[in-house]
Structures are given as structure tokens and as C-alpha cells.
Amino acid sequence: MPKQILILFAHPAVHNSRVNKAMVDAIADLEHVVIHDLYETYPDFYINIKKEQSALKQADLVVFHHPFFWYGPPPMVKLWQDVVLTRGFAYGINGSMLHNKDFMLAISTGGKEQAYQREGNNHFTIDELLFPYQAMSYRCGLQYHSPFVIHGSYNLSNEDILAHADRFRNLLVQYGEAGATALFANQKGGKFYG
């Protein structure tokens, strides 16, 4: 049986999305991938905790998939973390449900890669800005992997977008077959975005 992937997709304005929409479309047919659209499922921000937790139990790889906005996720993701990753489930005494699962971010940024450098406009690298997720992973016993990042989403041509989406799909297919090694193999010098 292929490794199971849970995509927690959060996009507050999916009707305007080019990049993230293309990524989701590209993986829609993969049987080992569950795409869970949080904004579509919980339009009133009332998250069904039990359902979320049982979905997490099924997954080998958990992916936070969302645009990167104000150096963080859309608010739904933070709320999801707050209410789903509870003590006794994700951490604390008996909180070992996520242990040894894989975790990865799939994000798009409006800014170009050069902007996410110490000397760039944003003054921090993507890896630095994502430290809270890394910390979350340590806390929950998740295996943190380098993020799948698409930069400069405003200026991408349709061909570029489709190529990125295809790359995303290949990665998930390989994970289904090979598990975490696929994620390591895809890292170029510690990161595989750009």
C-alpha cells in the first residue's frame, strides 16, 4: 500500500488563485492523497476536531498547503493548529499520535527568492520565517522536511505554473512509493525550492 498523504489546503480566496489551484488540480487524481480544503469545509471557522484528528491518524505525510501571507499562514491554519493539535493528542502525556509522521509545507510567495535573503527586502530567509513550523514539528514528534516553495507567484507564466504543479505531483507520487526518502532525495543542498 502506498504511503498516505493528507494535504491540509487553506486558501481564503481560491477563486483568485493560479498557483495553488494548479497544484491542487495536478494531484486531484492521486489515490494516496487526500486533499482537505479547510476553507471550503469550515466556511464559518467551526472546525470538527474529532474528524480532523482521525484524518491525521490515517496519514503518513501531513502537508500544510497555503499561500504565504504576512510571513505566515492564513488564519484558518493557525486556528486549526490551536484546536486540533491538543494536549493528549499531539503533545503532552499520551500525546503521541503524530510521532514519526512526516511533515512538509507547500507554500507560494508573492516575493521573489532574492527577497527572502538576509540582504533582501524581507531580511529573513524562508527557512528562518518557517521556524515556528519546525518547532511545532519537534514538539509533536513530526519529521520536518524542507518546504516546497514557489516564489514570485504574481509573475509566473502559465507554463511555469504547470511545471511547478507537475513537480509537486511527482514529489507526492514518489513519496507514495518510497516514503520519506523521496523527500530527502529531492532536497538540493538542504532545500529544494526555487
Partner 1 sequence: MDDHGLLFNALIYLFAAILFVPLAQYLGLGAVLGYLLAGVVIGPWGLGIITDVQDIIHFAEFGVVLLLFLIGLELNPKRLWEMRKPILGMGSFQVFITGILIFAIALLFNLSWQVALIAAMGLSLSSTAIALQTLKEQNLLDTPAGNKGFSILLFQDIAVIPMITLVPLLGVAQASSNDESGWLVALKVLGVIFALVLFGRYLTRPIFRIIAKAKTKEIFTAFSLALVIGIALLMQSVGMSMALGAFLAGVLLAESEYRHQLESDIEPFKGLLLGLFFIAVGMAIDFGLLLEDPVLILSLVALLVVIKFLVLFSMTWLFKVPTRQRYLFSFVLSQGGEFAFVLLTFATSVSALPVEIAAILTVVVALSMLTTPLLMIINAKFIEPRFSAVSSVPMDKVEPEDNQVVIAGFGRFGQIVARLLHANKIGTTIIDHNPDHIERVRKFGFKVFYGDITRLDLLHSAGLDKAKLFVLAVDDRQKGIQAVEMIREHYPHVKIIARAWDMIHAYDLLDHDVEIFERETFDSALRLGSKALNILGMPAHKAHIASQQFREHDLQLLLRMYAVHQDQSEIINLAQQARIDLEKLFEADQDVLDHDVEKEWN
**Residue 46 found at the interface with partner 1 (CB under 8 A):** yes
**Residue 135 found at the interface with partner 1 (CB under 8 A):** no
Q: How far is CA 32 from CA 1, 4, 5, 111, 184, in A?
A: 9, 5, 6, 32, 19
Q: Which residue has the cell 497555503?
A: 66
Cell triple for 185 = 532525495
**Segment contacting partner 1 (CB under 8 A): 81-89, 119-127, 143-151, 160-168?**
81-89
Which residues between 161 and 190 bind partner 1 (CB under 8 A)? none
Sequence-distant (≥ 6) Cβ neighbours of residue 181 within 8 angstroms: none
Sequence-distant (≥ 6) Cβ neighbours of residue 169 within 8 angstroms: 26, 27, 30
**Residue 31 found at the interface with partner 1 (CB under 8 A):** no
- Share in percent of the chain as helix, strand, coil (round to 5): 45, 20, 40
Burial of 154 (0-12, 13-18, 19+ CB in 10 A): exposed
* Contacting residue, 86, 96, 122, 125, with partner 1 by CB under 8 A: 86
Q: Which is nearer to partner 1, 92 or 194 (CB)?
A: 92
Q: How far is the CB of 48 from partner 1 (least distance, A)?
A: 8
**Segment contacting partner 1 (CB under 8 A): 44-52, 59-67, 102-110, 123-131?**
44-52
Q: Which residue has the cell 540582504?
A: 119
Q: Which is nearer to partner 1, 28 or 49 (CB)?
A: 49
- Give the integer Cα–Cα distance in Å for 39 and 159: 27
Q: Which is nearer to partner 1, 87 or 99 (CB)?
A: 87
* Contacting residue, 18, 25, 28, 49, with partner 1 by CB under 8 A: 49
**Residue 134 found at the interface with partner 1 (CB under 8 A):** no
Sequence-distant (≥ 6) Cβ neighbours of residue 81 within 8 angstroms: 136
Q: Which is nearer to partner 1, 31 or 44 (CB)?
A: 44
**Residue 94 found at the interface with partner 1 (CB under 8 A):** no
Q: Which is nearer to partner 1, 82 or 177 (CB)?
A: 82
Binding residues for partner 1, per CB under 8 A? 44, 46-49, 82-83, 86-87
